[in-house]
Structure 1
């Protein structure tokens, strides 16, 4: 997602354009990978020294709720990245070193559902973690 389309999406949902939100989005666009919330805080404090962790975290969750960012948990810590351009239902391989992702267009739920007969699955999240070719 591009910066202007992300800001437009926020505006159409009734949220104001702030310099902090814009900078957070720029960071994700520049890096195209999962980034820890703490790292975002450090990067944004270079431009906005007084910004608090709570402000950054609230904005990260807002951007996730608005489906501009995606989130996952790596090493016990919440990580975020710009929403994926891949359309339709898919999953990701996530590099545990650099945070880069690769889309997986196969869904294992088809096989798993066979083992869950009688269960009502409402949703699922499937991610594969490891080292990408550049980090191996």
Structure 2
């Protein structure tokens, strides 16, 4: 998802697109992988001195709720990234830097056979480890 798609989605859901909200989107569009709320606050404080944690978390929750951001948990902390909506895939996530690498393999074909009598409503498949840069450091 890019900024224009995200803004359109917000407008379609009846939300305003303020300068601050656009700056949050710009941060995630540039980010290479998952980022924390603290990463976002550090970025926003350059422009919005004294921005509150409440404001940041409210917007992160909104963006996740409407499908702009996706979340994962790394080292006991929630991390966010721009949602990848163009095709179905999964991610390798670096535990050290949060960078992601797309994985096109999906285990759901086998799982659906095993759970044939169940109504599967969604899934998430992630692999965690160290990217080549962090591994060599």
TM-score band, normalised by shorter chain: 0.7 to 0.9
CA contact (8 A) 1:21 1:59 kept: yes
Question: For residues 85 and 126 of structure 1, what CA distance do their matches in structure 2 show?
Answer: 15
Q: How high is the TM-score relative to the length of structure 1?
A: 0.86
How far the C-alpha of 1:24 sits from its partner, in A, is 0.8
Query: Which residue of the partner structure matches residue 104 of structure 2?
Result: 105
Question: For residues 109 and 85 of structure 2, what CA distance do their matches in structure 1 show?
Answer: 23
Question: For residues 23 and 53 of structure 1, what CA distance do their matches in structure 2 show?
Answer: 15
Any runs of at least 4 consecutive aligned residues in structure 1 with deviations exceeding 6 A, and if so which? Answer: none
Query: Which residue of the partner structure matches residue 61 of structure 1?
Result: 61
Question: For residues 33 and 126 of structure 2, what CA distance do their matches in structure 1 show?
Answer: 14
Q: How high is the TM-score relative to the length of structure 2?
A: 0.85
Query: Which residue of the partner structure matches residue 96 of structure 1?
Result: 95
How far the C-alpha of 1:110 sits from its partner, in A, is 2.9
Question: For residues 67 and 37 of structure 1, what CA distance do their matches in structure 2 show?
Answer: 17
| Structure 2, unaligned runs of 5 or more | none
For residue 110 of structure 1, give the secondary structure of its aligned residue in structure 2: helix
How far the C-alpha of 1:120 sits from its partner, in A, is 4.4
- Give the count of matched residue pairs: 135
- In structure 2, relative to structure 1, the CA distance for the partners of 1:14 and 1:112 (3 Å cut) is same
